[in-house]
Structure 1
């Protein structure tokens, strides 16, 4: 299924074609940032707002299996990203889950440093409710925002067992700058491949011991690029975590999902995510099998209403990227805790 967004992102790709060709993702700086073991700062978002941000199924409390915190992409909220796919699938399979949203920034267009406070709260609260380590799973921005929590709030590392990214912007995208001419939403500035946010996110260590990372991407993603191989923007390297960087084409060579499909209806992505959730360690493509290549939609998606919802969602994403989201002329400054420069 082709998304109406493809033409929008194709224009961005044309603007930056010379940047992408032959591209890998440059390594981030490792100096000038807070040590990876520095205690995280106090959360500044009001407690009442944090409490409103988390919505959980009843079986998260004292969970008998690993529960999942779902974190949505830029331009959408959790209900739009996951309400017609992963939430019904998880309910059917008996997987406990919570969703994390920002009441003051429902479509995740604002400063992602603020968004990360909600995710940090979600990890801590969900771990406390479940009485066990959790998985954090997200799409695009939502596939990498938990890594900001893990990087700058070290206490969360012992609370997370699995990180599952679907088309995550772990190293930004070389196509985003075309959307920022002359200005764009704060979260888009921060998801440029050369942003200060991306450099800070990947400073020190990209992964941490005791955590399994499953990073799922598509070589045909029209928004998060370069993603031609496991040296691309979604993939992780270095640090102490156990990592699997997997292209959907590693399972189904002829698959060609675009960006929005990867996090909403793609059967290969969901099969890999479920494999990671139901086995120790990250996903293993050989356990998925080639039969998934014959499926048009992931389980949990209604074959009639699901595609219609996807079309509506595509229009919402396009509107947020082009006209509806607030725009600023530059990337938000890094918080002082990121560079260990806060006043004593």
Structure 2
């Protein structure tokens, strides 16, 4: 039986009354996080009972087999209907409230049951939704013709660039250029997705929708084959090539008023980490990027990989997982190589945006120790924005936002527009913080957009659980980075 999501939100609200976890960040943020862990566990149990998912949660507690988990999740149907943005936020807060989740797939089951996943009706399950990835706006085979390329971008754009391991046609086909693209009349913006996702689905219901008609942005997005689950070093090749290719096809075109058009890059999750790798080992990209705006990035990796990577034969530690996931371990060679090469500091004007309350995928994600936090050793200009610190206490924008939630956060959009409009990193001083943070989502986004964005987490889980390239050891470091 379905019912309004307000019933679930009421459960959450009652448990949070009087709790520091329900209000904005206090002076003792660690205490808030600890409190949230307790309250989140209680709320998760209540939601499981209300939704009638007790048996499902028990089954998920008893298996580490990815295929079995996917089968269980495929059987979950929405038992509630979201009716407002506050209800959505309250419910997500209850589901993902624990600071240290031990079974992310139980949380995903609750999200699916709450009507906040891709299970939009009783005839569509998670596996069917995942099979649609890589097609349409998520296509990895886009017929881009290299017309009006003003300079050489392959096999190398400049001396010092790393070599590509992929043919140019494959790199170019991953770039999705919409029919309305102006080829330099408006500043091009490259949208880079995260792990287990494609750019079309990631940005369609949020930033791409908002930026499409902006005079300061002309969105183009990447659909990396394999949904960014393969070797992160190879994923970075797609990003490096796309940056130089977009700049080249826009520069000197009849629509461009500049001899050299620069590209802005907006990224999500792993997309930020791999863009930083591209800046590090393809120096030519730095000269043609005007702004880098990573959302929920994991520049230092995450300590939660072991929550994601499971195996029927492994009960302890990290099970076999997709290459990019292992490379995003906090102690991976990929992360260590990037930091040793100077990738812990920005190469271009950068505004990094993240949630300290509470990213369920990337941890740590608070203060200067946040995985999203970048240094500015080169003096290019860096602004690190933790949403709950920047927004006024008790405002909606200072509340709970998860990993994908930052894509619709009102402050994210405001800062992206500020950076694209003014050049250089965004400036909080140019924004009406109280007005911006008084909204649950960026103006222009509705309930359907927020639910579609929240659904990116179950969709990513479906890709992870169904992918076949599982390893125990990360791919070897490319020779150019050794």
Check whether TM > 0.5: yes
Change (3 A) 1:130 1:179: same
Residue 175, structure 1, aligned to residue 304, structure 2: yes
Compute the displacement of 1:237 (Å). 1.0
Q: Which residue, 406, 411, 425 being the options, matches 1:268? A: 411
1:59-95 Cα deviation digits (max 9, x unpaired): 6554244321000011211111001112221112242
Tell me how far apart the structure 1 counterparts of residues 453 and 290 of structure 2 sit (CA, whole Å).
31
Separation in 1 of the partners of 2:372 and 2:354? 7
1:79 to 200, 220, 239: 200
Deviation at 1:11, TM superposition (A): 1.4
Q: CA deviation at 1:300?
A: 4.1
Q: Deviation of residue 292 (structure 1)? A: 1.4
Distance 1:81 1:325, change over 3 A: farther
The counterpart of 2:189, out of the listed 50, 62, 68, is 68
1:179-230 Cα distance to aligned partner (Å, 9 max, x none): 3332111111011111111111222323455x20111111121221112202
- Asked if the contact 2:405/2:454 (under 8 Å) is kept, the reply is no
2:299 aligns to what SS in structure 1? coil
Aligned to 1:243: 382
Question: Which protein has the larger Cα radius of gyration, Structure 1 or Structure 2?
Answer: 2
**C-alpha distance in 2, partners of 1:304/1:12?**
27
Task: Give the aligned partner of residue 282 of structure 2.
Answer: 153
1:12: Cα distance to partner?
5.9
User: Which residue is 1:109 aligned to?
Assistant: 229
Aligned match for 1:10, one of 101, 104, 123: 101
Q: Distance in 1 between matches of 2:354 and 2:159?
A: 31
Task: Give the match for residue 367 of structure 2.
Answer: 229
Counterpart CA distance in 1 for 2:211 and 2:415 is 14
**Alpha-carbon distance in 1 for matches of 2:468, 2:269:** 17
CA distance in structure 2 between the partners assigned to 1:79 and 1:242 by the alignment: 29
- Which fold has the larger relative contact order, with Cα–Cα distance below 8 Å and residues 6 or more apart in sequence? 1
- TM-superposed deviation, 1:177: 3.2
1:21 aligned partner:
none
Query: Do 1:134 and 1:161's aligned partners in 2 also have CA atoms closer than 8 Å?
Result: yes
- Residues 129 and 116 from structure 1, CA distance in 2 versus in 1: closer, same or farther, beyond 3 angstroms? same
Counterpart of 2:167? 46
Residue 7 of structure 1 deviates from its aligned partner by: 7.5
SS class of match (2:164): coil
Distance 1:333 1:87, change over 3 A: same
TM-score with structure 2 setting the length: 0.60
Paired with 1:51 and 1:65, the residues of 2 have a C-alpha distance of 21
Which consecutive residues of structure 1, in runs of 5 or more, have no partner in the other structure?
14-36, 340-344
* Change over 3 Å in CA distance of 1:183–1:119 after alignment to 2: same
SS in 1 for 2:462: helix
Aligned partner of 1:335 in structure 2 is: 478
Shift of 1:273: 1.7
Query: Is the counterpart of residue 126 in structure 1 residue 246 in structure 2?
Result: yes
SS at match of 1:79: helix
Distance 1:187 1:79 in 2: 20
Does residue 202 (structure 1) correspond to residue 339 (structure 2)? The answer is yes
The question of 1:318 aligning with 2:461 is answered yes
Say if 1:109 and 1:186, in contact at 8 Å, map to a contact too.
yes
Alpha-carbon distance in 2 for matches of 1:204, 1:326: 28
Aligned pair partner of 2:321 in 184, 190, 193: 184
